[in-house]
Amino acid sequence: MKTCIKDPVPAVFAARDNLAAAVDAHLAGDPDKARRRFRAADTLAVFFWLNPCWYDVEKNVVDAAPAGDSCVVPKEQRDRDRGIAAAVRTEVLARDGYRCRYCGLPVIDATIRKIAHALYPDAVPWDSRDLRRQHAGFAALWLQYDHVVPHSHGGRSNAENVVIACGLCNFGKHGYTLRQLGLSDPRLRLPEPTEWDGLQRLRHGFSKQSREAARRNREAPG
């Protein structure tokens, strides 16, 4: 069985490196270099790796009805905490780190992308309604909390059933089961330690002055 829906390609890791370099350049006071690096992480190679797996999710299915698989349960039998409580998210992130438990990609919390977009809106585009206007690097490395056993199949929103995932592995998995996708259970593999910090240093460096600069960028004409 596979460990993930689609193996990461070198362009995705190059995007990671460019995003890290962009954040370092910003924190070093070099916005021009930061802008160039953010743009370098937004490539067609990453976009086409991510799509169509992210949106044409039915194409990820290898067996629509595997023998002995779980099934959709009535809504009244599902965990009421569909969104996963903050305490559970904190526990899962502390256990897994900023690394997808399926494919191993480093991941970045959406808050960091929002800060980068506020600081460099021209270099970090993001339109939630149009995937063509979503920064490919940030989309590919988007930190997600995934129900291994789907919530719709009775999967609990607890640390035993939730793992860190990247954008493709979470959205591409959709509401399907591991058997339907031909995937091995990521919980059977121990989390691998990583030094990747999810670019949290950008959050710590987002000072009052940075927020004011971001506001001016958004309000600047043209």
Number of H helices, E strands in the chain: 10, 2
Question: What pLDDT is attached to residue 54?
Answer: 82
Given a cut of 50, whether residue 222 has pLDDT beyond it is no
Average pLDDT over residues 208-218: 58
Greater model confidence, 32 or 129: 32
Using CA atoms, how far apart are residues 146 and 181, in angstroms rounded to an integer? 15
Closest CA to 176 of 72, 23, 81: 72
Using CA atoms, how far apart are residues 149 and 211, in angstroms rounded to an integer? 40
Domain count, the chain: 1
Structure tokens given for 110: 């959406």
Q: Is residue 214 part of a domain?
A: no
Question: What pLDDT is attached to residue 132?
Answer: 83
Q: Report percent pLDDT > 90 for the chain.
A: 84
Residues 6 or more apart whose CB falls under 8 angstroms from that of 105 comprise 8, 12, 16, 99, 140, 141, 166, 169
Q: Is residue 222 part of a domain?
A: no
- When pLDDT is cut at 50, 70 and 90, the band that residue 208 belongs to is low
Report the mean per-residue pLDDT for the chain. Answer: 93
Residue 84: domain span: 10-60+70-209
A 10 A CB-CB count for 214 gives: 18
Residues 6 or more apart whose CB falls under 8 angstroms from that of 207 comprise none
For 41, how many CA atoms within 13 A lie in the half-sphere containing its CB?
Answer: 28
Digit-coded pLDDT (tens) for 169-190: 999 999 999 999 999 999 999 9
Greater model confidence, 212 or 96: 96
Question: What pLDDT is attached to residue 12?
Answer: 98
Given a cut of 70, whether residue 142 has pLDDT beyond it is yes
Using CA atoms, how far apart are residues 150 and 174, in angstroms rounded to an integer? 8
Q: Is residue 176 part of a domain?
A: yes
Q: Is residue 2 part of a domain?
A: no
pTM: 0.90
Question: What pLDDT is attached to residue 125?
Answer: 97
